[in-house]
Chain A
């Protein structure tokens, strides 16, 4: 699934202009950054309710490609600035984490821990 499609499914608003023509193999959702660092696959998207700059750092370290901030949360300027500096497209959506995961799953996107590893084996 293309990142642009992900953004439109979650009805997300971009926090700054970004290239959405990127293929996204899978996604993960967590508020615990250590969980993110444990499960994230390179190239995946993160859904989170956490808004501090550590979200961007975690995504950067794990080679994830985009952040979706759920439940209408608008991250503080330092988070947005860091995401922009690191070139990590970020969007905010008014919907809840559960709802967003559900819609993306329904549209065919799978969680990091399963789909990506299957892809790697192939």
Chain B
């Protein structure tokens, strides 16, 4: 997923308290503008909240300071020059609230308060950017580690033939979860850094097989994907009604699906032929009364050919 979309999501997920600066420098209203200048310079900041007896009464920035300097009023108190009743943000609001507030001109920082309106932080545009970048970096790093751990399994485990077996139970008629197994297989293969074209072929084949079980097998079934260094073997077993005529079933367009299956968008008679066109080897067995067994192999040595 592109990073920009994740950043957009994050401004809704992250709270203001996650990104704000917690150590807030404040000033009392009685100090002079000259004293304020020293405080801003010392801390290299461009604005501070004004607190009187712990209560937020105003905010004053470097802009106010410049105006006072131009007017020759550096001896005036902060109280005279500050913005009263400043706009503030609540700590538990999502960052997007702050982003919207910053769109309006004239706002460089917002005091952040808790639900008792006590000042607990301050937020600038820089805090938001830094917070988002940190979060994105952490997420990127987590996915990198997963990639690293998963994709090196075949190098780290030494044997004559290492394979990773993924086993999924498929529940009959469970339309809510239909497709989850294939989705998880796709995720695992992606983490194993198997080339996309291969992952896609496996995903389509297992999804068709999964839907076959969900729709046709009364007792459900099982999908096993065995990942080997050079190939992926998919084994699908179910205890459904079986297939009366395999040759006929393989024909594109042949279907025994009922109306409700077709309404779901399946049962067009393309399932088995779709599986066949995605895989390099395919074997289908269905002895009468024992269900169906499908084995398919996808080679990993060619660059996604098929």
Q: Is the CB of B200 within 8 A of A42?
A: yes
User: Which single member of A37, A55, A60, A87 contacts B186 (CB below 8 Å)?
Assistant: A60
The answer to whether A37 and B183 touch (CB under 8 A), given A18-B5, A57-B178, A62-B200, is no
Interface string of A31-63 (1 = CB under 8 A from B): 111111110001000000010111101101111
Name 30 interchain pairs, CB-CB below 8 A, sorted by A. Answer: A19-B1, A19-B2, A19-B4, A31-B265, A33-B211, A35-B268, A37-B207, A37-B270, A37-B274, A38-B273, A38-B274, A38-B277, A42-B200, A52-B265, A53-B179, A54-B178, A54-B211, A54-B264, A54-B266, A57-B178, A57-B179, A60-B179, A61-B200, A61-B203, A61-B204, A62-B203, A62-B204, A78-B176, A86-B183, A87-B1
User: Which single member of B4, B182, B268, B270 contacts A61 (CB below 8 Å)?
Assistant: B182
Q: Is the CB of A38 within 8 A of B183?
A: no
Q: CA of A34 to CA of B1 in the docked complex: distance in angstroms?
A: 25
The answer to whether A52 and B204 touch (CB under 8 A), given A32-B270, A57-B179, A61-B186, is no
Nearest B residue to A52, CB-CB: B264
User: Which single member of B203, B264, B270, B277 contacts A35 (CB below 8 Å)?
Assistant: B270
Chain B residues whose C-beta falls within 8 Å of the C-beta of A57 in the assembled complex: 178-179, 182-183, 207
Q: Is the CB of B268 within 8 A of A32?
A: yes
Contact residues of B with A, CB < 8 Å? Answer: 1-2, 4-5, 8, 175-176, 178-179, 182-183, 186, 196, 200, 203-204, 207-208, 211, 264-271, 273-274, 277
Contact residues of A with B, CB < 8 Å? Answer: 17-19, 21-22, 31-38, 42, 50, 52-55, 57-58, 60-63, 78, 86-87
User: Which single member of A35, A61, A63, A87 contacts B196 (CB below 8 Å)?
Assistant: A63
The answer to whether A58 and B264 touch (CB under 8 A), given A63-B200, A87-B5, is no
Q: Is the CB of B196 within 8 A of A42?
A: yes
Q: CA of A62 to CA of B197 in the docked complex: distance in angstroms?
A: 10
Q: Is the CB of A19 within 8 A of B265?
A: no
Q: Is the CB of B207 within 8 A of A58?
A: yes
Q: Is the CB of A54 within 8 A of B265?
A: yes
Q: Distance in Å from the Cβ of B276 to the closest Cβ of chain A?
A: 11
Q: CA of A37 to CA of B179 in the docked complex: distance in angstroms?
A: 13
Q: Is the CB of B175 within 8 A of A19?
A: no
Q: Distance in Å from the Cβ of B37 to the closest Cβ of chain A?
A: 44
Q: CA of A10 to CA of B190 in the docked complex: distance in angstroms?
A: 33
Q: CA of A62 to CA of B270 in the docked complex: distance in angstroms?
A: 15
Q: Is the CB of A34 within 8 A of B274?
A: yes
Q: Distance in Å from the Cβ of A35 to the closest Cβ of chain B?
A: 6
Nearest B residue to A22, CB-CB: B2
Q: CA of A36 to CA of B175 in the docked complex: distance in angstroms?
A: 19
Chain B residues whose C-beta falls within 8 Å of the C-beta of A34 in the assembled complex: 208, 265-271, 274
Q: Distance in Å from the Cβ of A79 to the closest Cβ of chain B?
A: 11
Q: CA of A60 to CA of B210 in the docked complex: distance in angstroms?
A: 14
Q: CA of A18 to CA of B200 in the docked complex: distance in angstroms?
A: 23
Q: CA of A38 to CA of B201 in the docked complex: distance in angstroms?
A: 11
Chain B residues whose C-beta falls within 8 Å of the C-beta of A38 in the assembled complex: 270, 273-274, 277
Chain B residues whose C-beta falls within 8 Å of the C-beta of A87 in the assembled complex: 1, 5
Q: CA of A77 to CA of B63 in the docked complex: distance in angstroms?
A: 49
Of the listed residues B8, B178, B203, B204, the one surrounded by the most CB atoms of chain A closer than 10 A to its CB is B204
